[in-house]
Amino acid sequence: MRVGILGAGKIAGIMARTLREMENVQAWAVASRERERAEEFARTYGIERAYGSYEELVEDPAVDLIYVATPHSHHAEHCLLCIEHGKPVLCEKAFTANAAQARQVLARAEERGVFLTEAIWTRYMPSRRMIDDLIGEGALGEVVSLTANLGYPLTHVERIMEPALAGGALLDIGIYPLNFASMVLGDEVEDVTSACVKTSTGVDAQSSIVLRYRDGKMATLHTTVLAATEQYGIIYGTKGYLIAHNINNIDRISLFGPDRSLRREITVPKQITGYEYEVEACRRALETGALECPEMPHAQTLCMMEQMDALRRDWGVRYPFE
């Protein structure tokens, strides 16, 4: 499978390095609005072709899948560009800037019969199945609640601080605690309580979110771009609890009994970067003619975007293009 990378920033580099080490997958082309940047990127990662426009990339007949690695604010535009040229798309999270854009992109992909999925890597990783298996086998008893916390000092990053780039903590890292809660507790949320602190530019800097579910379960989530946190996802049950270490790329799962004694320590399989799992999921889907990945169905992507829209609405965070 030949992959084209749309965008030549930091996250695109991680994907290029991943593809270089995978089997049966090739980083075939990269596109940037600046040809020199694309050429430098191609040299760095050993990529066959470099394009100075996104249009050139989507018109390359050899490309089997395009990875969209531009800022959130431009995902809808670039996904639609790929879809109009019949190119399957793996779009970096957050899928779009808001739910309205997501509906437009998903509808057009369906109309055109083009494969499309969101690259929220935690949905594709082995750790997700490992946690599901522990819960399924009753290791925690009945799950009653969870907490999830993710923070980095990121106020020096332009795309985080800039409203025009759909900045803020929520779309960039808050999406991970929200997806963690969704993967464990589902999406039957009955009530949401939240608060946020804004940056000087008007986007969300940090937030606390409490989700109450119809079955009585609860999730308490925290996100910040002001400081580093321990990055734990903790699931609590009637027979104990587990800690998922490094919630946005889980590397270890610790299982504790109700007396807080450590019962099991589980490591996840060795990985290239973690991006390989979403790429493999795309390859499997394309081989079978599927238009979405079961790990992150379109309905789930839209649900997450609607949830984030509602939070931003409550906080009074609005992007200038909305």
Q: In terms of C-beta distances under 8 Å and separation of at least 24 residues, what long-range contacts does 125-129 make, across chains too?
A: 125/249, 125/250, 125/268, 125/271, 125/274, 125/277, 126/268, 126/269, 126/277, 127/244, 127/250, 127/253, 127/268, 128/183, 128/295
H/E segment holding residue 208 = strand 204-213
Tokens 């504790």 correspond to what residue? 256
Give the active site residue among 10, 93, 198, 217.
93
Catalytic-residue membership of 93: yes
Q: Would residue 302 be called left, alpha or beta, if left means φ above 0 and alpha means ψ between -120 and 50 degrees?
A: alpha
The conformation of residue 9, written as its DSSP 8-state character, comes to: S
Instruction: At 63, give phi and psi (nearest 5°).
Output: -80, 125
Residue 46 tokens, joined: 């050993």
Please, what is the angle between helix 99-112 and helix 298-315, to 10°? 160
Calpha distance 25→27 (Å, rounded): 7
Q: Nearest 5°: CA angle at 296, between 49 and 267? A: 90
Query: For the stretch 212-225, what's the b/e string if a residue is b when 16 or more beta carbons lie within 10 angstroms of its beta carbon?
Result: ebeeebbbbbbbbb
**Residue 226 and residue 151 in contact, taking contact as beta carbons nearer than 8 Å:** yes
Residues 6+ apart with CB under 8 A from 34: 52
Residues classed as catalytic: 93
